[in-house]
Amino acid sequence: MRLAAVFIIEHYLFDEPQCLNIIGNYFYSFKIEYKKIIINRVINSQYVDNLHSNNITELSAIVGANGSGKTTLLSIINKEHDSTRTIFIYEDENHDIKVVNRTGMLDENGYFTERSQIPTYFNDTIVYSVPNIDIPTLYYSPIPDEDLSDVSSSVSKTTHFKSTLIEYHLDNIERSIMLMTDDVVDEIKKAYPELPLYNYLSLSAKPLYKRDLRNIYAGFKVEGDIEKSQKISLDNLWKTYPNTNEKKEHLTHESSDFYKNIEINLLSYILIDGTSMETAFNGKYEISFNDIIKEKNINKKLKHLFFHKIAYIDKYFYYSFKELLTGYDYSVLLSHLGRTNFDEELKEKQSRVISTILNLKNSVNNIPIEELRYYFEKKIELLINDELRGAEFESFRENLISFNDYLSVKFKKNQGDLLEEISRGLEEVEFGINKSFEAIFKSRLEIIDQLENGVRKAIKLFAAIQDFYNGLGDFVKKDGVDLVEGEININLSVIDFIDFKDLIQKYKSVIVEFNGNNLINAQILEFRPDKKLSFGEKSLLNLFSSFYEFTLKKNDYLRRKEHYIILLDEADLGFHPLWKKKFISAISTVIPIIFEKLNEDIDNSNTSELEKRKTQIIISTHDPLTLSDIPNYNIVYIDKLVNGKSDVLNILDDNSYRPKQSFGANVHDLLANSFFLKGGFMGEFAKKYITSLIDEVNNIEIINSEKEFNSYVRKINIIDEPFFKYKLIESLESKYSIKKHNIDSLIEKKERELKELKRKKENDQD
- Residue-wise pLDDT tens digits, 547-574: 888 887 655 677 778 889 999 988 888 8
How many whole angstroms separate alpha carbon 317 and alpha carbon 448? 11
Across the strands, what pairs with 33? 36
Q: By the 8 A CB rule, do 156 and 139 touch?
A: yes
- Give the chain's mean pLDDT: 80
How many whole angstroms separate alpha carbon 50 and alpha carbon 30? 26
Q: Beta strand 481-484 with 487-491: parallel, antiparallel or unpaired?
A: antiparallel
The C-alpha angle 653, 629, 582, rounded to 5 degrees, equals 155
Q: What are phi and psi of 54, to 5 degrees?
A: -65, -25
- Residue-wise pLDDT tens digits, 291-302: 888 888 999 999
How many whole angstroms separate alpha carbon 497 and alpha carbon 462? 26
Distance of CA 301 to the CA centre of its chain: 32
435 C-beta neighbours (distance < 10 Å), count: 10
Rg of the chain over all Cα atoms, to the nearest angstrom: 38
As a whole number, mean pLDDT of residues 541-546 equals 85
- Measured distance between the N- and C-terminal CA atoms of the chain, rounded to whole angstroms: 46
Q: What is the tally of helices (H) and strands (E) in the chain?
A: 23, 18
pLDDT at 529 over 60: yes
Highest mean pLDDT out of 20-24, 62-66, 468-472, 582-586: 468-472
Sheet holding 18-21, edge to edge: 18-21, 2-8, 86-91, 97-102
Which distant-in-sequence residues (6+ apart) come within 8 Å of 64 by Cβ? 70, 620, 637, 638, 639, 640, 646
pLDDT at 724 over 50: yes
Per the model's pLDDT, the better-predicted residue between 599 and 163 turns out to be 599
pLDDT at 467 over 90: yes
Please state, in angstroms and as integers, the Cα–Cα distance from residue 116 to each residue in 36, 102, 103, 104, 129, following that order: 11, 10, 8, 5, 13
- DSSP, res 182: S
Look up the pTM and report it: 0.66
Which distant-in-sequence residues (6+ apart) come within 8 Å of 370 by Cβ? none
- Residue-wise pLDDT tens digits, 377-415: 888 888 888 888 888 888 888 888 888 887 777 777 766
pLDDT at 403: 82
Each domain of the chain, given as residue ranges in start order, spans: 2-143+562-641, 344-447, 684-765
pLDDT at 471 over 60: yes
How many whole angstroms separate alpha carbon 421 and alpha carbon 423? 5
Length of the chain: 766
Q: By the 8 A CB rule, do 522 and 556 touch?
A: no
pLDDT at 717: 78
How many whole angstroms separate alpha carbon 121 and alpha carbon 118? 10
* Dihedral over Cα of 144, 150, 154, 155: its sign: negative
Helices (H), 597-656: 624-627
Q: Beta strand 563-569 with 614-620: parallel, antiparallel or unpaired?
A: parallel
**Model confidence at 463, in pLDDT bands (50, 70, 90)?**
very high
pLDDT at 741: 45
Sheet holding 481-484, edge to edge: 481-484, 487-491, 200-205, 525-529
Please state, in angstroms and as integers, the Cα–Cα distance from residue 516 to each residue in 92, 392, 708, following that order: 32, 29, 78
Task: HSE, CB side, 13 Å, CA atoms: give it for residue 77.
Answer: 36
Helices (H), 597-740: 624-627, 667-669, 684-698, 706-717, 722-734
pLDDT at 573: 83
Q: What are phi and psi of 302, to 5 degrees?
A: -65, -40
The C-alpha angle 104, 105, 107, rounded to 5 degrees, equals 130
Q: By the 8 A CB rule, do 160 and 553 touch?
A: no
pLDDT at 227: 66
- Residue-wise pLDDT tens digits, 501-513: 888 889 888 888 8
Q: E strand or H helix at 61, and its extent?
A: strand 56-64
pLDDT at 447 over 50: yes
- Residue-wise pLDDT tens digits, 29-45: 888 888 888 888 999 88
Q: By the 8 A CB rule, do 252 and 239 touch?
A: no
Nearest to 47 by CA among 102, 111, 7, 95: 95
Render the burial of 693-722: b for 16+ CB within 10 Å, e for the rest.
Answer: beeebeeeeebeeeeebeebbebbeebeee
Q: Give helix 165-180 / helix 497-514 axis angle, nearest 10°.
A: 120
**Model confidence at 681, in pLDDT bands (50, 70, 90)?**
low
